[in-house]
Amino acid sequence: MLQAPFPTPALSRQLVLASTSRYRRELLQRLQLPFDIESPDVDETPLPGEAPAPLAQRLALAKAHAVALRHPNALVIGSDQVADLAGEPLGKPGGHERAVAQLQRMRGQSVVFQTAVAVVCLESGFAQAELAQVRVRFRDLHDDEIERYLRAEQPYDCAGSAKSEGLGIALLDAIDSDDPTALIGLPLIRTCRLLRAAGARLP
């Protein structure tokens, strides 16, 4: 288990991030709260016919619950993101060929990134989730642009095969969101709201 280097908690309970994503870890550090990190080890396979938004919410809660079972007194944060292309879920490509195929399908299209966050505490009985929807319009990308981008950034661990916080911003025409960090992987406005509802004091 890793620990973020922040002093004096504003929490009466241990805070655990149920994710090994470096993007979510870096985002959560912005809140300047001490937290531990633990892998949830949850199967992320969609259920038959499962739509992207319910999939993201189910997985966020499943990740939080899986780690909460090991830390019943803690506040556990789970999160999941699914790229939604006309109702079809697109997950992490995992490799170059799948990333090329994803970006080719998304070029010139609007894609909704469904980013869910959940907070669970078994001892208090708290378990809530929220969903942030980010609409992204991709440029009409040429194949050579896709290839250059993927070779430069290798975003194979990102849903939708693009990092908006990096070079991937050059692939886009527009982003529409009410929670700016949601596209990176953790909607902090909603995370703060859930933590406050669970009893945490934030700055």
CATH value at residue 130? 3.90.950.10
Domain that holds residue 124: 2-197
pLDDT exceeds cutoff 80 at 130 = yes
Assigned domain for 85 exists: yes
Assigned domain for 169 exists: yes
pTM to 2 decimal places: 0.89
Q: Which residues, in sequence order, are bridge partners of residue 21?
A: none
Assigned domain for 202 exists: no
- What is the model's pLDDT at position 203? 77
Kind and range of the H or E run holding 130: strand 126-138
The set of catalytic residues is 80
Assigned domain for 136 exists: yes
Assigned domain for 120 exists: yes
Q: How many domains does the chain have?
A: 1
Assigned domain for 203 exists: no
Q: In 3-state terms, what secondary structure has residue 153?
A: helix
pLDDT tens string 56-76: 999 999 999 999 999 999 999
